[in-house]
């Protein structure tokens, strides 16, 4: 297996999440600092917005307007102007904190939730996936998921991949024109792993940040493990492909544990590494 040669792009974070390469910059949520940030490849940092309810998943509407998940108050926010504004309130549709998100080219956002109080020690319970239309209307499009987390669109947008962190697998759905999901199947079983953020490459494989097992994986459809890279002792909650040629792997890292994170104790950074695979154009 190829060895990664990571370098640190950005340090001094608390708990980075929601990595997205967009407009020649890496976008990220520093969740426990309550900030959405961007950083370019020279390490120049910009604060986009403050999100006191803890930001997580990020995405962009067709006109370029950034969207951010506000975890604790179950809201999807538009990051425009001096203050974030509400795009949708998902409180009636979800249980536990909302979390990661994917926004498709039409501006439809898919948002996952915990389903239970993860850091509070509650017993795991299934959660759902909510689709939010560009006008802010929302509906449940899948349920029975065990901690839906990172997502990616494959097959030209016809397949939605969802990391089920507590089911140790990545699940695939067929995507209808109206955004409805059907044909649920397993894309990859990942025994004893905790798939968190994921990133699709141009070959149809996925990079998986297995947060609690402190590693990043390159996985083929069906589950064949193509590459494995340890990040221990740092957890790896998210990853993304990007850079000028799409061959840079961005990795979110955090020195913490679930028990420490429940107390807000964490120290995070973003590493980068050149990889042979490239992002989907």
How many structural domains comprise the chain? 1
Residue 281 maps to a domain: no
Q: What is the pLDDT of residue 267?
A: 97
Q: What is the pLDDT of residue 125?
A: 94
Q: Say which CATH number the domain at 127 has.
A: 2.120.10.30
Q: Token digits for 108? A: 């439809």
CB-CB contact of 88 with 94 (8 Å): no
Residue 140 maps to a domain: yes
Q: What is the pLDDT of residue 2?
A: 63
Residue 2 maps to a domain: no
| Structural domain that includes position 15 | 7-274
CB-CB contact of 78 with 66 (8 Å): yes
| Location of structure tokens 């904190």 | 97
**172: how many CB neighbours lie within 10 A of its CB?**
21
DSSP assignments along the chain, one per residue: -PPP--EEEEEEESSEEEEEEETTEEEEEEGGGTEEEEE-TT--EEEEEE-TT-EEEEEE-TTS-EEEEETTTTEEEE--SSS-EEEEE-GGG-SS-EEEEEE-TTSPEEEEE-SS-TTTTPPP--EEEEEE-TTS-EEEEEEEESSEEEEEEEGGGTEEEEEEGGGTEEEEEEE-TTS-EEEEEEEEE-TT--EEEEEEBTTS-EEEEETTTTEEEEE-TTS-EEEEEE-TTSEEEEEEEESTTS-EEEEEEEE--HHHHTTT--EEEEEEEE-SS-B--
pTM comes to 0.96
d(CA 33, CA 47): 11
Q: What is the pLDDT of residue 179?
A: 97
Sequence-separated (6 or more) residues with CB below 8 Å from residue 178: none
Residue 267 maps to a domain: yes
d(CA 99, CA 92): 15
d(CA 103, CA 250): 19
Residue 92 maps to a domain: yes
Q: Per-residue confidence of the chain (281 residues) as pLDDT tens digits?
A: 467 889 999 999 999 999 999 999 999 999 999 999 999 999 999 999 999 999 999 999 999 999 999 999 999 999 998 899 999 999 999 999 999 999 999 999 999 999 988 777 778 999 999 999 999 999 999 999 999 999 999 999 999 999 999 999 999 999 999 999 999 999 999 999 999 999 999 999 999 999 999 999 999 999 999 999 999 999 999 999 999 999 999 999 999 998 898 888 999 999 999 999 999 98
Residue 166 maps to a domain: yes
Q: What is the pLDDT of residue 129?
A: 98
d(CA 272, CA 209): 13
Residue 280 maps to a domain: no
């Amino acid at each position: 297996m190829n060895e990664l040669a990571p370098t640190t792009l950005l340090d001094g974070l608390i708990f980075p999440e929601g990595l997205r390469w967009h407009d020649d910059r890496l976008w990220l949520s520093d969740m426990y600092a309550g900030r959405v940030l961007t950083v370019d490849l020279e390490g120049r940092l910009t604060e986009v917005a403050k999100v006191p309810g803890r930001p997580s998943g990020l995405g962009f509407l067709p006109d370029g307007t950034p969207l951010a998940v506000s975890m604790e108050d179950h809201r999807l926010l538009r990051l425009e102007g001096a203050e974030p504004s509400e795009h949708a309130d998902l409180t009636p549709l979800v249980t536990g904190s909302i979390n990661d998100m994917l926004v498709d080219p039409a501006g439809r956002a898919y948002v996952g939730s915990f389903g239970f109080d993860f850091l509070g020690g509650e017993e795991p319970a299934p959660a759902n996936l909510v689709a939010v239309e560009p006008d802010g209307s929302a509906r449940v499009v899948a349920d029975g998921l065990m901690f839906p987390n990172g997502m990616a669109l494959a097959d030209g947008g016809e397949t939605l991949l969802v990391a089920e962190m507590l089911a140790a697998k990545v699940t695939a759905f067929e995507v209808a024109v109206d955004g409805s999901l059907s044909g649920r199947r397993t894309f990859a079983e990942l025994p004893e792993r905790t798939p968190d953020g994921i990133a699709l490459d141009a070959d149809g494989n996925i990079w998986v940040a297995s947060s609690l097992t402190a590693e990043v994986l390159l996985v083929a459809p069906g589950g064949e493990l193509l590459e494995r890279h340890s990040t221990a002792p740092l957890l790896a909650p998210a990853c993304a492909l990007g850079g000028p040629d799409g061959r840079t792997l961005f990795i979110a890292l955090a020195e913490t544990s679930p028990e420490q994170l429940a107390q807000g104790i964490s120290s995070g950074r973003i590493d980068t590494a050149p990889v042979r695979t490239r992002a989907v154009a």
